[in-house]
Amino acid sequence: MISVVVPVFNEEKTIKELHCRIVEAMGKQKDAFEIIFVNDGSTDNTEKEAKNLKPLKLISCAKNRGQTLALDTGMQAANGEIIVFIDADLQNDPEDILKLLGKISEGCDVAVGRRQNRQDAMPRILFSRFANLLTRLALRTNIHDFGCGLKAYRSKFIKDFRLWGQMQIFLPAIAKSRGAKVCEVTVSHGLRKTGGSKIKFSNMMEAGINLLKVVFITRFSKK
């Protein structure tokens, strides 16, 4: 089984389209699948809209706790041997999930999306490039886009690891330290249809601090 985990927060205008496109994409492959939406304390009609969607496992949090804990909640509830993460804003195309699953079927344990022609503001893109370079050097992992929200994992490499801080960014490196083969896949990146980014620069700075912790985990956990 494949579990598609999506953290959602105030996505009432796009949640139906998101679900429809995920179902359509997953219907093109042969394995059973489940879709898990973690409603992260939305204050609009996201939960109401989601309750009418099928197939769907909906988990609702009483208050907004942030993307990381929403992903952790979905990951712990997932039943699949493969767990896919994708953001809810539709900048990632659900059709690209099939590209990631294709890489895993070829022998990869983790498939990480690499956004092509990013549709973000230039300051964010430049900061992201610098952060990715620093992370790549620190973790000795040849990934160019740690921040891409579209990733797929064999669950045995991540299921018992709890997410905190901005740890979902570095989860591929954690999986690699556990013996996973990590691959990168070029994926599309579209304009945001509604709202603004939920990720702030303060989150990016926090991620920098967490990077030091991940370096310790990946290099010294065995010792």
- Cβ proximity of 204 and 169 under 8 Å: no
Q: What residue segments make up the domains of the chain, in order of their start?
A: 2-220
Burial of 106 (0-12, 13-18, 19+ CB in 10 A): exposed
Q: What is the CATH number of domain 2-220?
A: 3.90.550.10
Q: Residue range 105-125: average pLDDT? A: 83
Q: Is the pLDDT of residue 37 over 90?
A: yes
Contacts of 154 (CB under 8 A, 6+ apart): 81, 82, 104, 109, 110, 180
- Specify the amino acid at residue 174: I
- Whether residue 183 has pLDDT greater than 90: yes
The predicted model scores a pTM of: 0.83
Cβ atoms 101, 170 nearer than 8 A: no
Residues 83, 163 contacting (CB under 8 angstroms): no
- Look at residue 147 and tell me whether its pLDDT is greater than 80: yes
